[in-house]
Amino acid sequence: MAKEEGNSSGFRVVDRRPFAADGSRKEDAEEKSVEPAVAPERNVLGESQGEPRGLYDDEPSRFETLVSYLSTTAMFQLGLIAGPSGERIPADMPNAKRTVDLLEVLQEKTRGNLTANESRMLEDVLYELRLSFVEMQKRQTRKTK
């Protein structure tokens, strides 16, 4: 790229591409060996082993954390957990059902790949959430009658 003499900005553009516009290799382009980049080892959530975790992370995220997060979300959606400032949130049954369904998908897709404790925990959480969901549906039906 040609350098303009009258340019006083101090900004300079250098074309370091090894190929010319016609696709031929430039004469002054040096041969560099390019090694394939090896991605750092990552956990299930895509975090690399050496990356710093968030401010509130005491331990790495695991399967139990995911199940706990989804079950807490479902309980909140069912109105079983108070909001952040202590107020009662009305039940959001469609989204609660969707969250329970997500846990069921997780159970189906991980079947045979979980430890006994993980499998039992997921079964217990689903059992409790299903019972709570049915109970909340009954309460809502009684209120509308």
CA dihedral of 120, 121, 123, 127, whole degrees rounded to 10: 130
67, 103 Cβ separation under 8 angstroms: yes
Q: How many CB atoms lie within 10 A of CB 58?
A: 5
Helix (H) or strand (E) holding 133: helix 116-144
Measured CA distances, 83 to 87, 88, 104 (Å) = 5, 6, 25
Supply the pLDDT for residue 37.
47
Could you tell me if residue 46 is inside a domain?
no
Q: Could you tell me the pTM of the whole model?
A: 0.57
Instruction: Tell whether 110 is covered by a domain.
Output: yes
Query: How many Å apart are CA 62 and CA 69, to the nearest integer?
Result: 11
Residue 98 lies inside a defined structural domain of this protein: yes
Mean pLDDT by 10 residues, the chain (145 residues): 56 69 68 50 51 55 91 94 84 95 97 94 96 93 80
Q: Is residue 6 part of a domain?
A: no
For the chain, what is the domain count? 1
Residue 133 lies in a domain: yes
Residue 126 belongs to domain spanning: 63-144
Q: Return the pLDDT at 82.
A: 85
- Predicted pLDDT of residue 64: 93
So what's the pLDDT on residue 29?
57
For residue 120, give the DSSP letter: H
CA 135 to the chain's CA centroid: 31
